[in-house]
Amino acid sequence: MARKIVIANLKGGVGKTNVCINLAMFLTALGKRVLLIDLSPQGDASFSLGINASPNFIGDVLLQKIRPQVAIKSTSYFGFDVMPSFSGLDSAINNLRNVKRPELRLKKAIENLEEDYDFIIIDTPPEFDLLILNALYSADELIIPIQAEYLAMRSAKQLLDLIQKRNIKIKKISALITMYGWRSKISRNISKTARDDLSINVLNSIIPRATILAQTGESKEPILKVSPNSRAARAYRQLAEEVVGK
């Protein structure tokens, strides 16, 4: 049975996609079978992994036009599978508004994939919409990346409130501090405030702000390959181990 982990925060640019790709990669390096689902209309994760637009994609899966297996691409270079997203996901989701329980489409779609993977990681957009709801209703676990600044913390709280209001059952919710600057006072305060104020677990692993992480998207070179012993790679290795429960 796959563990389904959603990476979400209602704030943009906090490192959600970066966490998804690198967590998927380092879990794969630990020998786990991983599927990354890109549930973001921008398709940043898919683009970063060098996947070109193709006719069968997650939009068609949510519309129940194709079987989910058809939309899965393998990324031999990175070693994990991806269900990519391309432009068109927005209009697909608009077509779902009038169906019954549209927020459960993803959950149903991935039920049949559970035996094929150890982890299903889901990347989400920063707006509270039907896409993020689909992700949350599919989730066993939620990791909320919190960029080391106060607005990201506020959006994390808003997301937690929405989950509570809608009574969405998620077994485990954790915060992950990202883009941490060891020399930054704000970073140190956020890390402490997150631990003190959020009523959820804060992961011990902390993702540093690192140029090499910002570059991997463009160069399509995984950090595991170009700089396996960098602080950033060590942080993501530690995160993968923490998630696995080592």
Ligand X SMILES: Nc1ncnc2c1ncn2[C@@H]1O[C@H](COP(=O)(O)OP(=O)(O)OP(=O)(O)O)[C@@H](O)[C@H]1O
Phi and psi at 79, nearest 5°, equal 85, 10
β partners of residue 141: 5, 172
Min CB(110)–Mg ion separation in Å: 20
Reading the block at residue 82, the tokens are 């991806």
213: contact with ligand X by CB under 6 A: yes
Instruction: Please identify, among the stretches 9-17, 97-105, 157-165, 184-192, the one whose residues bind ligand X according to the rule CB under 6 A.
Output: 9-17
44: contact with Mg ion by CB under 5 A: yes
Estimate the crossing angle of helix 211-219 against helix 16-29, to 10 degrees: 80
84: contact with ligand X by CB under 6 A: no
Measured from the CB atom, the residue of 19 and 29 that comes closer to ligand X is: 19
15: contact with ligand X by CB under 6 A: yes
Q: Give the pairing of strands 80-83 and 73-75.
A: antiparallel
* Binding partner of 134, given Mg ion, ligand X, none, CB within 5-8 angstroms per partner class: none
Q: DSSP secondary structure string, 5-50?
A: EEE--SSTTSSHHHHHHHHHHHHHHTT--EEEEE--TT-HHHHHTT
Min CB(100)–ligand X separation in Å: 29
Which residue has the CB atom at the shortest distance from Mg ion? 17
Q: DSSP secondary structure string, 150-176?
A: HHHHHHHHHHHHHHHHTT---SEEEEE
Segment 162 to 201, residues that bind ligand X, using CB under 6 A:
178-179
Give the interface with Mg ion as residue ranges (CB under 5 A): 16-17, 44
Give the interface with ligand X as residue ranges (CB under 6 A): 12-18, 40, 44, 126, 178-179, 207, 209-210, 213-214, 217
